[in-house]
Amino acid sequence: MPEELSYIDAVNLALAHALEEDERVLIFGEDVAVPGGVFGATRGLKERFGARVFDTPISESAILGAALGAAIMGMRPVAEIMWVDFTLVALDQLVNQAANIRYVSEGRLYAPMTVRTQQGVLAGSCAQHSQSLEAFFAHVPGLIVGLPATVADAYHMLRQAIAADDPTLIIENRGLYRSIKGELDLASPHLGIGEARVVCVGSDVTLVTWGAMVHQADLAAQKLRGDVSVEVIDLRWISPWDHKTVLDSTQKTGRLLVAHEANLQGGFGAEVVSAVSAEMWSSLKAPPKRIGLPNLRIPAAPHLQAAVMPNAESIAQVARDLMGR
């Protein structure tokens, strides 16, 4: 029988298995070793694996630089950046450094490093601990970017990131850590890097999303059942991303809606809409739509956050709009 795990247990298990199977794997970051991570993702790993799991100073550039240097020299580091907002402190190491190594050296050097981080609005989270920044990283050739939405993906996508020979950013969502549970069947086949998952089949609207918003999209599709038939696609990886699954679905439905938690301007939804529009303009029955946070900073008070965050209800409304209902 497959085990039932929480999302964060799946992250922990993926790290434990990676450490167990591969001597080259290192896990480090702020508070990850002795404290076991501020969210508990790395709990117990220090005790089991010793020196390969270690705490670092609060120095994001030093952490990411160390991961990059170790990766170049043949290790498989997994660095944790506690909040995606903190990657901004050390963006140089990801964008100017890690992403360039393979290309500029003509493949003589490469950086098989993984960065685990998490993002998203949670009730009361301040403006510097609640942004969804995935589009920043999708804009950087050379980086792989994934946002696991399910327990199985929390495990498998992290394992694939660690096995990948390129710098890979796994953006988790702390709202999912303990709120979802699921079965993890390690023996069952799973999707690869850059492959999307059809969450539920539908015929009227293709609803593309990723990360925590997958669950809101799924709820929206359920709400609309009998009214609008929604095909929900969990993109999973936004770089590289699965054009084919999105195009095939939109070809079938003729309507595209993209939902993400990040704000709309320059959000990754614009990329998806642009690609679909360019590819199948004449097959579209309605102009594609996007839903996300409006272009503003994020307030801390929960009722203010709720007023601007997309949710199942607002997603369902946009789907109805697409149908002209």
Q: Indicate which residues carry an active-site annotation.
A: 129
Length of the chain: 325
Compare residues 89 and 219 and give the one whose CB is closer to other proteins. 89
Is 189 a residue that touches other proteins (CB under 8 A)? no
Binding-site residue total for other proteins (CB under 8 A)? Answer: 47
Is 105 a residue that touches other proteins (CB under 8 A)? yes
| Residue indicated by tokens 């209800």 | 313
Compare residues 72 and 308 and give the one whose CB is closer to other proteins. 72
Identified binder of other proteins from the candidate list 38, 40, 43, 102, rule CB under 8 A: 102
- Phi and psi (nearest 5°) for 202? -155, 175
Contact assessment for residue 25 and residue 19, using Cβ atoms and an 8 Å cutoff: yes
Identified binder of other proteins from the candidate list 34, 104, 127, 304, rule CB under 8 A: 104
Compare residues 13 and 99 and give the one whose CB is closer to other proteins. 99
Stretch that binds other proteins, among 98-106, 153-161, 226-234, 261-269 (CB under 8 A): 98-106
Cα(93)–Cα(60) distance, integer angstroms: 9
- Residues 35-64 within binding reach of other proteins (CB under 8 A): 51-52, 54, 56-57, 59-64
| DSSP code for 169 | E
Identified binder of other proteins from the candidate list 67, 171, 207, 322, rule CB under 8 A: 67
Return the bridge partners of 146, or none.
Answer: 170, 237
At 95 the three-state DSSP class reads: helix
- Residues 148-177 within binding reach of other proteins (CB under 8 A): 164-166
Return the bridge partners of 256, or none.
Answer: 206
* Smallest distance from other proteins to CB 98, Å: 9
Identify each DSSP E strand in 9-121 by its residue range: 25-29, 53-55, 76-80, 114-119
Is 87 a residue that touches other proteins (CB under 8 A)? no
Cα(149)–Cα(214) distance, integer angstroms: 7
Is 141 a residue that touches other proteins (CB under 8 A)? yes
Contact assessment for residue 271 and residue 304, using Cβ atoms and an 8 Å cutoff: no
* Smallest distance from other proteins to CB 182, Å: 30
| Residue indicated by tokens 């327990």 | 151
* Smallest distance from other proteins to CB 68, Å: 5
> For 281, how many CA atoms within 13 A lie in the half-sphere containing its CB?
2
Sites of contact with other proteins (CB under 8 A): 24, 26, 51-52, 54, 56-57, 59-75, 77, 90, 92-93, 96-97, 100, 102-110, 141-142, 144, 164-166, 240
